[in-house]
């Protein structure tokens, strides 16, 4: 069986990265309800089963943004069977000593083959080499497959932000301390 190779992306990878399909299907969505009263403020998040599975298209970054990420060495790629099959975009938040993973995924035909786990392990190793103590993932509220992927690997819900994405979706944040 072919091995999964992880490395930091270079500029020649850019055209290939833009062709990776990060769309996903989901049976659930998370909704929020905010109660703002005179003496209290509460937020309720609820996972709701949709009447049918929905297909969610990925809102791609523009090419120049991706090129800048590559120049800053923020993109870790996975190669498998002589092709790029997945990636993760990593921002360093030095103030909080954490990596923030905002974008990433694996080509649909290569999902459930250990590639996502390999990328996550690579991000974790990069964090440890850079003395980073926490990983934080930003996910769309509809991305139930990724939420389960992270929860099964020890990540915990740590917050949310309404209207975070360009399509005004809620962002859910999942984090894990790695030291």
Name which of 54-58, 68-72, 109-113, 121-125 the model is least confident about.
54-58
Find, among 113, 123, 128, 59, the residue nearest to 81 by Cα. Answer: 113
Looking up residue 112, the CATH number of its domain turns out to be 3.40.630.30
C-alpha distances in Å from residue 36, one per residue of 33, 43, 58, 125, 171: 10, 9, 32, 42, 20
Asked whether residue 17 carries a pLDDT value surpassing 70, the answer given is yes
Q: What is the DSSP letter of 110?
A: G
pLDDT at 33: 80
pLDDT at residue 1 is higher than 60: no
Counting the structural domains of the chain, the total is 1
pTM for the full predicted model: 0.88
Q: Residue 84's domain spans which residues?
A: 5-177
Taking 90 as the threshold, does the pLDDT of residue 40 lie above it?
no
pLDDT in tens, 95-125: 999 999 988 999 999 999 999 999 999 999 9
């Amino acid at each position: 069986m072919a091995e999964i190779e992880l490395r930091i992306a270079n500029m020649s990878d850019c055209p290939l990265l833009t062709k990776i399909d990060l769309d996903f299907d989901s049976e659930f969505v998370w909704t929020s309800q905010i109660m703002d009263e005179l003496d209290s403020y509460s937020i309720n998040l609820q996972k709701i089963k949709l009447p049918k599975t929905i297909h969610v298209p990925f809102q791609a970054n523009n090419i120049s943004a991706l090129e800048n990420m590559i120049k800053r060495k923020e993109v870790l790629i996975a190669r498998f069977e002589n092709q790029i099959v997945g990636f993760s975009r990593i921002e360093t938040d030095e103030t909080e000593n954490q990596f923030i993973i905002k974008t990433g995924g694996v080509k649909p035909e290569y999902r459930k083959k250990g590639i996502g786990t390999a990328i996550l392990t690579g991000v974790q190793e990069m964090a440890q080499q850079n003395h980073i103590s926490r990983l934080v993932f930003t996910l769309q509220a509809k991305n139930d497959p990724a939420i389960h992927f992270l929860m099964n690997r020890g990540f915990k819900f740590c917050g949310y932000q309404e209207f975070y994405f360009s399509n005004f979706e809620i962002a859910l944040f999942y984090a894990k301390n790695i030291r």
